[in-house]
Amino acid sequence: MIPVPRSTALTALALLLLLATGAGCSRPSGPAAAGADASQRALQNKGSDTMVNLALAWAEAYRVERPEAAIAVTGGGTGTGIAALINGTVDIANASREMKEDEIEQARAKGFEPMEHLVAIDALAIIVNPANPVSQLTIGQLADIYTGRITNWRELGGEDAAIILVSRETNSGTHVYFLDQVVRRGESDNRDIFAPQTMLMPSSVGITSEIQRNPHAIGYDGLGYITEHEKVIAVAQDAAGPFVLPTVQSGADGSYPIARGLYMVTAGQPTGSIAEFIAWIVGPAGQQIVAELGFVPLPQE
């Protein structure tokens, strides 16, 4: 199992799911206190576009078990969700990365300690066009590609063609994770950045569309969003290998080197309906949905 640190097919759209008759109730005012009972209004859940389909599926299934539940799910990116939690307009922020130190300090300035709850694991897939002959890359090669030190597929055993870089936009938690763990190789003192020619996409749809359209493009996306229209690259820490494809199994056992935790963040220790919802998500029913959508479920006791 991978060590998990502390701490989108749909994005930038107003993805709103109101799952009970109380949908017209007001949103939180002030920090969305985790101890407050949200049963009389729609519980507000916002953030990571990587997680939005998963969050929608959780909300739908939860309502089947608890018809009185009211859960509003929106995307917008990890940074947007965390900002909303800090500003007190949501109960739960979905995050595909750990919180940044400045975000934690902002939350403390608002009078609460943010709590990150691990709810799933995601194997981040490296994808290219199916016509691309390259089938495996190391973390070092990916770092050189995305910083612009390697610019032609010929240097990697592919065609004599310029590499087209595709990435999520900077507000995305997936972008931040890829920058830290791949571009900067997980080195805290590394200050490498994405090459200026990198195309920044607001959603998984944008990345996969460019990959399918352009035979020389390379991108990355959550495992749950990969289709048969993209070719998935096997990745190794270094040239000695092994080169591993992202799967639920390789994400869970740690053999795939680009795997990360997915989080729900609350303002303090959750209680009431918020705590009940998160407990259901990390339990067997919620984790079955994680596996069904192509993400990596948490180990169950």
Which pLDDT tens digit goes with each residue over 68-77?
Answer: 999 999 999 9
Domain with 208, as residue range(s), is 123-259
Q: Is residue 77 situated within a structural domain?
A: no
Whether 48 is in a domain gets the answer no
CATH number at residue 217: 3.40.190.10
Handedness of CA 186, 191, 192, 196 (dihedral sign): positive
pLDDT of 300: 74
**Is residue 27, in this structure, part of any structural domain at all?**
no
Q: Is residue 47 part of a domain?
A: no
Within-domain flag for 176: yes
Instruction: Identify whether 43 is part of a domain.
Output: no
For 113-158, what is each residue's pLDDT tens digit?
999 999 999 999 999 999 999 999 999 999 999 999 999 999 999 9
Task: Look at the chain and report how many structural domains it folds into.
Answer: 1
Closest listed residue to residue 50, CA positions, set 193, 226, 185: 226
* pLDDT of the residue at 46: 97
pLDDT at 243 over 90: yes
pLDDT at residue 71 in the model: 96
Q: Is residue 96, in this structure, part of any structural domain at all? A: no
pLDDT, tens only, 202-224: 888 899 999 999 999 999 998 88
Are 33 and 47 in contact by the 8 Å Cβ rule? The answer is no
pLDDT band at 27 (very low <50, low <70, confident <90, very high): very low
Q: Report how far residue 121's alpha carbon sits from residue 263's, in angstroms, rounded to the nearest whole number.
A: 9
> What's the pTM?
0.80
Q: Which amino acid is at 124?
A: L
Report if residue 172 sits inside a domain. yes
AA identity, residue 224: G
